[in-house]
Chains A and B, each alone.
Chain A
Amino acid sequence: MQQSPGAPRQPITSSTRVDQVGFRPQLMRGIKAGLAVVAMIIMLIPAVWMGMTAFKSRPDAVSVPPKVFFEPTVEGFVSLLTKRRQLTGEEIDAYKQRIDLSFADRLALKRGQAIIGQSDFPKFLRNSLIISTVSTFFSVFFGVLAAYAFSRFKVRGENDLLFFILSTRMLPPVVVTIPIFLMYRALNLYDTHFGLILLYTAFNLSFAVWLLKGFIDEIPREYEEAALVDGYTRLQAFRKIVLPQSMTGIAATTVFSFIFAWNEYAFALMLTADVARTAPPSLPSRIGTGGVEWAAIAAGSLACLVPVILLTFGLRQHLLRGVTFGAIRKG
């Protein structure tokens, strides 16, 4: 058969418009994809650089010009997790003779330091974990109940209540912290785990209600109605039908709430001091003390960010819903 004029050399294998066939449209698509990849690389540079800095030695971390190739070391992690003392020249020589030095001790010795104890960072990280986990549990638990009620029953003033719930989330943290600080001081909740858990529960609850309501709205009522007809009570129907059906939503809400609590800074800064302090506010204060140990800070930052990066991948189907409080679902 004779070729039609303008026929493409490459065979067409997909559904495409005639004017999008051929070299030029294909080139355009390639350029766009290339630019997108470049954008992705630019977006990732800070995170990658952080990962690299965490494994640099102290001088490498602040070398001029910045080092892209370096000898990896866990020195940063050692300084993050320990308290150290600067040694005098003689002490260093004495230390060098000792044979009972651990791997970490020897790394510290390289900078003329001796490890004298554990730093507070593990404690801060543990606080972060406890407070985020417990507060997430409570906000999702109460959130799913309220979301179910709003989704299935006629609630008087429903829209106003939902509006109120969402608007609490829009408040700047600093605005509510002053009275809460006074309240906590009076109730001895300042610098306690419980205090921060309570606050984070409230903070995430509004989010959880909105997001979960969106998910529960999507479960057809017919399932429950059939169960009610079969003789289940409302509560049984909720437990045996709605809860299992909304598992995806609950999981997504849990992860989001956890990330928000894990990342939170302002409340933790103002309502904790030492006992219940979480990891994020501990990092800026590290800069103030003596020479800035960037490798240690990078290591601490990495510890804060890696869990979130991993969780983000688990959430990728739900990111849009999450960041818009469940109001927008498509995509």
Chain B
Amino acid sequence: MATIELRGVEKRFGDQYAVKPMDLTIESGEFVVLLGPSGCGKTTTLRMISGLEAVTGGAITFDGRDVTWSHPSDRDIAFVCQFFALYSHLTCHDNIAFPLQARGESRGEVKRQVAEVAELLQIGHLLNVRPGALSGGDQQRVALARALVRRPAAFLMDEPLGALDADFRETMRAEIKRLHLEQKATTVYVTHDQIEAMAMGDKIVVMSAAEVQQVGSPADVYYDPANLFVARFIGSPGMNLLSGRYEQGVFRFGTDQSYTVPADVKPALERAIGQGELILGFRPEAVNVQPSGPIASKVYASDLHGGYAMLHLDIGGETVVHARAGRGQRYAMDSEVRFDLDPEQVRFFHPATEEAIRKEQVS
């Protein structure tokens, strides 16, 4: 398994960046997800790693070997794409055997290895069928088998579940995850589906507008978004954001409302902005509804989600925030609700740079 390193890798068409210069290290055996809205450059990044797209700058190394200008087949990678890319006139067996034959393996060896991966993916009974006759899920299993059979140094997957039905997607997601854990294979996985990213990634690279926004574990990007884009993009609904002013340890917003900022972030805030404009963010589950809470709001609407209720709370007629509440109590429309925030889960953002302002680490 390989460690993949991108140093200053960029893709540019004239003045237009498809991917701005980026640095990224993908550790051996790691499952890294490139996540972002369509057109953010995540697929281009993956294609540059595979060699299907030539970089316009920077270098890519596999285990320290510079492969920036190596032929895609010299990089020892497997590529799985949304459209499966199976040869429709070959049987599944021949499709899976294809990379081995291209490498010139002996017949017996090919047969043995195909049988082995077929068993792993439980597609032994499909080997003599042509892919056209299979369901999307089975086709993707065959495509995965073709990727696995070469025992590549890295798997590159471009929205491999994108073309599947919702229920298949769930199953295949689990299968890919399991395969990864069994094979310990370095995997780079592109998706625009944050649930998929959260569920599968050891590390998530959030991209937007041709730029990396944040690199971190699923928990990092969810609880500690690096900037407003990540805060809004991750989570469904995204993070609640309130604009206001920071004055002497207090965040003032709406019509004369205020929230006392947790003491441990104050120094960081004061260093970053002094006194003035600030954005406060919190996830729906950071809300504690309690009559004595510091923040006043009106119920705009509420809906039940199986195990919990989602409240949509109107703050001063300006902002609607989303809050998770127990399903026990009913909230009438327009009724007054006061709430407090879990101080551990309150985040702050610079209104101009949109970057997160984090409390300083005690060293």
Is A18 engaged at the interface, CB distance under 8 Å to the other chain? yes
Task: Give the contacts of B32-66 with A (CB-CB under 8 A).
Answer: 51-56, 58-60, 66
Q: Per a CB cutoff under 8 Å, which of B13, B66, B71 touches A18?
A: B71
Q: Which residue of A lies closest to B59 (CB)?
A: A4
Rounded to whole Å, the gap between the CB of A312 and the closest CB of chain B is: 34
Is A17 engaged at the interface, CB distance under 8 Å to the other chain? yes
With A1-B8, A4-B59, A5-B66 as contacts: A17 and B14 at CB distance below 8 Å? no
Q: Which residue of B lies closest to A22 (CB)?
A: B69
Contacts of B51 in A (CB 8 A): 17-19
> Which among A8-16, A85-93, A142-150, A218-226 touches the partner chain?
A8-16
A16 to B54, CA, bound (A): 6
Contacts of B58 in A (CB 8 A): 1
Q: Is the CB of A6 within 8 A of B72?
A: no
Is A170 engaged at the interface, CB distance under 8 Å to the other chain? no
A-B pair count, CB < 8 Å, reads 53
Task: Give the contacts of A1-41 with B (CB-CB under 8 A).
Answer: 1-2, 4-8, 11-22
Contacts of A12 in B (CB 8 A): 54-56
Q: Is the CB of A6 within 8 A of B68?
A: yes
Contacts of B8 in A (CB 8 A): 1
Contacts of A5 in B (CB 8 A): 66, 68-69
Interface of A is mostly: loop
Rounded to whole Å, the gap between the CB of B76 and the closest CB of chain A is: 14
A22 to B71, CA, bound (A): 12
Q: Is the CB of B52 within 8 A of A17?
A: yes
A280 to B56, CA, bound (A): 58
Q: Is the CB of B53 within 8 A of A17?
A: yes
Q: Is the CB of A7 within 8 A of B13?
A: no
Rounded to whole Å, the gap between the CB of A1 and the closest CB of chain B is: 6
With A1-B8, A4-B59 as contacts: A17 and B54 at CB distance below 8 Å? yes
A212 to B51, CA, bound (A): 45
Is B70 engaged at the interface, CB distance under 8 Å to the other chain? yes
Q: Is the CB of A4 within 8 A of B68?
A: yes
Rounded to whole Å, the gap between the CB of B74 and the closest CB of chain A is: 9
Rounded to whole Å, the gap between the CB of B42 and the closest CB of chain A is: 15
Q: Is the CB of B71 within 8 A of A19?
A: yes
Q: Is the CB of B54 within 8 A of A21?
A: yes
Interface centre among B7, B68, B72, by most chain A C-beta atoms within 10 angstroms, is B68
Contacts of A11 in B (CB 8 A): 56
Contacts of B52 in A (CB 8 A): 17-18
Q: Is the CB of A7 within 8 A of B53?
A: no
Interface centre among A8, A15, A20, by most chain B C-beta atoms within 10 angstroms, is A15
Contacts of A18 in B (CB 8 A): 51-54, 68-72
Q: Per a CB cutoff under 8 Å, which of A7, A14, A15 touches B69?
A: A7
Task: Give the contacts of A124-158 with B (CB-CB under 8 A).
Answer: none
With A1-B8, A11-B56, A16-B53 as contacts: A21 and B69 at CB distance below 8 Å? yes
Rounded to whole Å, the gap between the CB of A5 and the closest CB of chain B is: 6
Contacts of B53 in A (CB 8 A): 15-18
Q: Which residue of B lies closest to A4 (CB)?
A: B68
Q: Which residue of A lies closest to B56 (CB)?
A: A12
Q: Per-position contact with B for A45-68: 1 when CB-CB < 8 Å, else 0?
A: 000000000000000000000000
Contacts of B54 in A (CB 8 A): 8, 12, 16-18, 20-21
Rounded to whole Å, the gap between the CB of B22 and the closest CB of chain A is: 14
Q: Is the CB of B13 within 8 A of A14?
A: yes
Contacts of B72 in A (CB 8 A): 17-19
A21 to B13, CA, bound (A): 15
A13 to B14, CA, bound (A): 6
Q: Which residue of A lies closest to B73 (CB)?
A: A19
Q: Is the CB of B13 within 8 A of A6?
A: no
Interface centre among A2, A12, A16, by most chain B C-beta atoms within 10 angstroms, is A12
Rounded to whole Å, the gap between the CB of B47 and the closest CB of chain A is: 9
Q: Which residue of A lies closest to B75 (CB)?
A: A18
Q: Which residue of B lies closest to A17 (CB)?
A: B52
A18 to B53, CA, bound (A): 6
Q: Per a CB cutoff under 8 Å, which of B13, B14, B56, B69 touches A4?
A: B69
A15 to B11, CA, bound (A): 9
A155 to B169, CA, bound (A): 42
Task: Give the contacts of A77-113 with B (CB-CB under 8 A).
Answer: none
With A16-B53, A17-B53 as contacts: A4 and B66 at CB distance below 8 Å? yes
Contacts of A16 in B (CB 8 A): 53-54
Contacts of A19 in B (CB 8 A): 51, 71-72
Contacts of B59 in A (CB 8 A): 1-2, 4
A1 to B10, CA, bound (A): 13
Q: Per-position contact with A for B5-33: 1 when CB-CB < 8 Å, else 0?
A: 00110000110000000000000000000
Interface centre among A1, A4, A14, A19, by most chain B C-beta atoms within 10 angstroms, is A4
Interface centre among B53, B69, B70, by most chain A C-beta atoms within 10 angstroms, is B69
Rounded to whole Å, the gap between the CB of A272 and the closest CB of chain B is: 52
Q: Which residue of B lies closest to A11 (CB)?
A: B56
Q: Is the CB of A6 within 8 A of B14?
A: no
Contacts of A21 in B (CB 8 A): 54, 69
Q: Which residue of B lies closest to A16 (CB)?
A: B54
A152 to B51, CA, bound (A): 48
Q: Per-position contact with B for A297-313: 1 when CB-CB < 8 Å, else 0?
A: 00000000000000000
Rounded to whole Å, the gap between the CB of A17 and the closest CB of chain B is: 5
Contacts of B14 in A (CB 8 A): 13
Rounded to whole Å, the gap between the CB of A170 and the closest CB of chain B is: 30
Q: Is the CB of A6 within 8 A of B56?
A: no
Q: Return 5 A-B CB contacts under 8 Å, by A number.
A: A4-B69, A5-B68, A14-B13, A18-B54, A18-B70
Going nearest first, the 10 A-B pairs with the smallest beta carbon separation are A6-B69, A4-B68, A18-B51, A19-B71, A4-B59, A18-B54, A21-B54, A4-B66, A12-B54, A12-B56
Q: List residues of chain A with CB under 8 Å of any chain B CB.
A: 1-2, 4-8, 11-22
Given A4-B69, A18-B71, A21-B69, 7 extra CB contacts under 8 A = A6-B68, A7-B69, A13-B13, A14-B13, A17-B72, A18-B69, A19-B71
